Amino acid sequence: MWTFAKRKAPMTRGDFKKLPRHVAIIMDGNGRWAKKHKLSVALGHRQGTETLREIIRHTDDLGIEALSIYAFSTENWNRSKEEVAALMQLILDFFASEIDELDAKNVRILILGDKSDLPAKQREVLLQAEERTGGNTGLKLNIALNYGGRAELANAARELAMLVQSGRITPAMIDEKTLADHLYTRGQPDVDLMIRTSGEMRLSNFLLYQCAYAEFLFPTVLWPDFSVQDYDEALIAYGGRERRFGGRLK
Ligand code: IPE
Ligand code: IPE
Ligand code: MG
């Protein structure tokens, strides 16, 4: 009998009837993957960055406009000192190995979150990456580090309050657009597709405002095992969703 190779070739843009403009991913399951393989959690996170590299490449190949990646939440500081240190080291390693290729591919990197609480070295590397790629016009790659959706909204409220206080705007001028213009993702489309791996079905404080009408997918595969083919399947599933935005279809 003829047997087909299990892994299909990655899909290309023309294979999809509809692609999202903005994909957000909560990379979850590194800890469980490490446990399953009897490895340290640090190695689980390291394996996760291998997945990340492939997913960024494929997103870029497909010509998707924006990709937001949840890498470290404001609540992740509650993990052990060792685990936080391993994650901080991975930030340095990831940018050292990827920045040249990302810049060459015209990817624009934006960090979502408060960089001021990160160690000086990490802060510098992230600022450099943002500066170096700031003029790029390709994929908008948003990496959420020390990010919290509630903190982002509180920041926006504070900035708007300051504008009112200084007399530059009036309270009546504040609408959804003004608020969105004070979020980290200003100028970018809302999230169309939110993917969280590992089977957990929650937002964990990620992009609360931007996900108002996002479609959600929760593949059970752990992040280090999430393949380009799994991603293609998620994108196909997105293409089959009927989005209504509160209206009624004819
Ligand atoms: C997600 O993997 C990565 C980060 C939070 C940085 P986890 O470490 O949360 O993996 P699980 O949930 O313990 O399996
Ligand atoms: C969300 O995952 C944060 C990241 C993936 C960076 P967590 O694993 O930290 O979320 P909870 O604690 O399970 O909600
Ligand atoms: Mg988790």
pLDDT for 4 beyond 90: no
Look up 155 and say whether it is catalytic.
Answer: no
What is d(CA 248, CA 250) in angstroms, rounded to the nearest whole number? 6
Distance between CA atoms of residues 23 and 197, nearest Å: 13
Helix (H) or strand (E) holding 34: helix 30-36
Pocket-testing residue among 73, 80, 91, ligand 2, by greatest number of atoms within 8 A of Cβ = 73
67 within 8 A of 139, measured Cβ to Cβ:
yes
Q: Does residue 7 register a pLDDT over 70?
A: no
> Which ligand sits nearest to residue 83's alpha carbon?
1
Ligand 2 center–CA 28 separation, angstroms: 6
Are 206 and 147 in contact, with CB atoms under 8 Å apart?
Answer: yes
Pocket test for ligand 2, best of 45, 204, 207 (most atoms within 8 A of CB): 204
Instruction: Tell me the per-residue pLDDT of 69-97, one tens digit each, with 9 for 90 and over.
Output: 999 999 999 999 999 999 999 999 999 99
Q: Which of 205, 54, 185 is nearest to 111 (CA)?
A: 185
pLDDT digits 0-9 by tens, 186-215: 999 999 999 999 999 999 999 999 999 999
Could you read off the pLDDT of 123-164 as tens digits, one per residue? 999 999 999 999 999 999 999 999 999 999 999 999 999 999
CB 112 within 8 A of CB 143: yes
Tell me the pLDDT tens digit for each residue of 223-239: 999 999 999 999 999 99
Cα–Cα distance, 40 to 27 (Å, whole number): 18
> How would you list the strands of the sheet with 140-147, edge to edge?
108-112, 140-147, 66-73, 22-26, 193-196, 215-217
User: SS3 breakdown of the chain: % helix, strand, coil, rounded to 5?
Assistant: 45, 15, 40
Amino acid identity of residue 185, one-letter, is T
d(CA 213, CA 232): 21
